[in-house]
């Protein structure tokens, strides 16, 4: 009993220590958040002077929202220190809420001020950035004549379609550099006039124009190297393609292989003659696609050659056998409808469904089909055998149901054998049907 009370006292002491620590954290967080709001408000004034009110609108809205929610934290703190005694649970909830609100306020202000920090630093470095823009523009302008010479040199070797992506790059780069220098001048004048927001917009436009101009000039040099690489690769692929055609002509022929060979031959024939400007990128892409198609067609032909194709006679025999067994099972189940259970009817329905799917798969009536494509024969035979198997199962289940429903007293047979005169010797009939099916199955196995 003493141990129970001792544990309870320890738990109470730990809870009181936790509440005291939480109350201390709430007070510290409240003071820190209040100071952070004051500092951020001062930073907002300077940011508006540097960037303008539009650029600092998000920070203004965030500061107003934080002040509103922090007012709730101050009200909760006031309730903690009024003269009305509170339950420990209420104090604990209020302090936790104060800490939560203060942490949220710190996170929001950190996020908004961090977004503005780079812009402010950039605005304060505006004179340095303007000087850098002008220096970069002068350096890039000196590269334009070389880029024009490169384009003219490439035009002698490559087609107009191949050069379409870089042909106008020197002219566009020169236009962008002129715009960048103009924007730098606007930024400088607006900054001197105290219009900081407009100056920053012009400064961003000038730096972006210089970046785009550099990318256009770099693309000209990159294109020359990539075109040389593509042309060298094209030569190797042409040689490999001709060797692949020699090998492909020795492979087992099929419609897919023939079409792939024709496509590769067409791609090779489309290559320009010597001395004619080429488009190595387009031609390389077409040859690669044709080679990939030929490889896939040959792989499919080899796979099919490794798998024997059933003769047409065997497939037709399997279909005829399936139709015969399905017809027998259907007639028996229809003739003894009241005696047949759900299992036999389900097997018969599955067999009928697959038989319908077989007609759809072949695109015509399987029983009347005189020609079946080699690619469809194996699947058609498998479906026909499945039809026959389910029909045999349905017939066997039907025989079980009929035997179970047959009267045990011969006098209840109506004096005319099992099933009465209407059905005629039921056991003999079932035995004959099953015997015929078994003989048909054996005959079917002779062709497998």
Q: Report the candidate in 71, 131, 122 with the shortest Cα–Cα distance to residue 101.
A: 71
Residue 222 included in any domain: no
Q: Report the candidate in 392, 396, 394 with the shortest Cα–Cα distance to residue 437.
A: 392
* Cα Rg of the chain, angstroms: 44
The number of beta carbons lying within 10 Å of the beta carbon of residue 355 is: 22
User: Does an H or E element contain 207, and which?
Assistant: helix 196-248
pLDDT in tens, the chain (448 residues): 445 445 455 555 665 666 677 778 888 888 888 888 888 787 777 666 666 666 667 777 888 888 887 887 888 877 776 656 667 777 778 888 888 888 888 888 877 777 676 666 666 666 788 888 899 999 999 999 999 999 998 888 888 888 888 989 999 999 999 999 999 888 888 877 777 777 778 888 999 999 999 999 999 989 988 988 888 888 888 888 888 888 888 776 677 788 888 888 888 888 877 767 778 888 888 889 998 888 888 887 777 777 777 888 898 999 999 999 999 999 998 888 888 889 999 999 999 999 999 999 988 888 888 888 877 888 899 999 999 999 999 999 999 988 888 766 555 544 444 444 334 444 444 444 444 444 444 334 433 4
Q: Are residues 33 and 104 in the same domain?
A: yes
**Number of domains comprising the chain:** 3
| Residue ending a domain, choose from 124, 154, 185 | 124
For helices 144-157 and 196-248, give the axis angle rounded to 10 degrees.
20
- List beta partners, residue 158: 278
The number of beta carbons lying within 10 Å of the beta carbon of residue 61 is: 11
Q: Are residues 324 and 432 in the same domain?
A: yes
| Contact call for residues 217 and 170 (beta carbons, < 8 A) | yes
Residue 5 included in any domain: no
The Cα 244–Cα 50 span in angstroms is 68
Answer yes or no: pTM beyond 0.85.
no
Residue 194 included in any domain: no
| Contact call for residues 416 and 423 (beta carbons, < 8 A) | no
Q: Are residues 250 and 372 in the same domain?
A: no
DSSP 278-343: B-HHHHHHHHHHHHHHHHHHHHHHHHHHHSPPPPHHHHHHHHHHHHHHHHHHHHHHHHTGGG--HH
What domain range is 326 assigned to?
312-445
Residue 8 included in any domain: no
Distance of CA 249 to the CA centre of its chain: 38
| Residue ending a domain, choose from 99, 124, 149 | 124
The Cα 317–Cα 448 span in angstroms is 10
Q: Which two structure tokens, joined as six digits, stand for 125?
A: 């470095």
């Amino acid at each position: 009993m003493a141990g129970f009370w001792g544990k309870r006292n320890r738990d109470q002491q730990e809870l009181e220590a936790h509440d005291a620590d939480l109350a201390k954290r709430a007070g510290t967080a409240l003071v820190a958040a209040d100071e952070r709001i004051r500092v951020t408000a001062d930073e907002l004034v300077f940011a508006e002077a540097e960037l303008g009110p539009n650029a600092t609108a998000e920070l203004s809205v965030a500061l107003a929202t934080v002040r509103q929610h922090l007012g709730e934290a101050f009200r909760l703190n006031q309730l903690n220190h009024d003269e009305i005694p509170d339950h420990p649970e209420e104090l604990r909830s209020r302090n936790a809420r104060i800490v939560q609100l203060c942490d949220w306020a710190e996170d929001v202000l950190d996020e908004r001020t961090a977004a503005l920090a780079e812009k402010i630093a950039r605005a304060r470095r505006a004179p340095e950035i303007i000087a850098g823009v002008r220096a970069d523009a002068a350096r890039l302008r000196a590269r334009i004549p070389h880029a024009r010479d490169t384009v003219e040199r490439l035009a002698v070797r490559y087609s107009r379609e191949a050069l379409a992506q870089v042909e106008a790059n020197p002219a566009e780069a020169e236009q962008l550099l002129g715009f960048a220098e103009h924007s730098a001048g606007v930024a400088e004048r607006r900054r001197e006039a105290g219009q900081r927001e407009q100056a920053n917009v012009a400064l961003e436009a000038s730096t972006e124009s210089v970046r785009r101009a550099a990318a256009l000039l770099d693309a000209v040099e990159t294109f020359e190297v990539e075109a040389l690489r593509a042309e060298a690769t094209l030569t190797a692929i042409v040689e490999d393609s001709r060797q692949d055609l020699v090998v492909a002509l020795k492979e087992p022929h099929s419609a897919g292989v023939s079409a792939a060979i024709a496509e590769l031959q067409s791609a090779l024939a489309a290559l320009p003659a010597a001395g004619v400007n080429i488009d190595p990128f387009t031609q390389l892409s077409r040859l690669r696609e044709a080679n990939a198609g030929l490889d896939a067609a040959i792989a499919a032909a080899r796979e099919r050659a490794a798998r024997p194709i059933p003769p047409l006679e065997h497939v037709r025999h399997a279909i005829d056998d399936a139709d015969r067994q399905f017809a027998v099972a259907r007639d028996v189940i229809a003739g003894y409808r009241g005696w047949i259970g759900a299992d036999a009817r389900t097997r018969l329905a599955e067999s009928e469904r697959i038989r319908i799917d077989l007609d759809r798969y072949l695109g015509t009536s399987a029983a009347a089909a005189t020609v079946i494509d080699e690619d469809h024969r194996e699947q058609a035979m498998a479906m026909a055998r499945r039809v026959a198997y389910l029909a045999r199962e349905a017939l066997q289940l039907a025989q079980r149901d009929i035997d179970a429903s047959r009267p045990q007293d011969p006098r209840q047979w109506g004096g005319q054998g099992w099933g009465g005169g209407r059905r005629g010797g039921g056991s003999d009939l079932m035995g004959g049907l099953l015997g015929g099916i078994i003989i048909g199955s054996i005959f079917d196995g002779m062709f497998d």
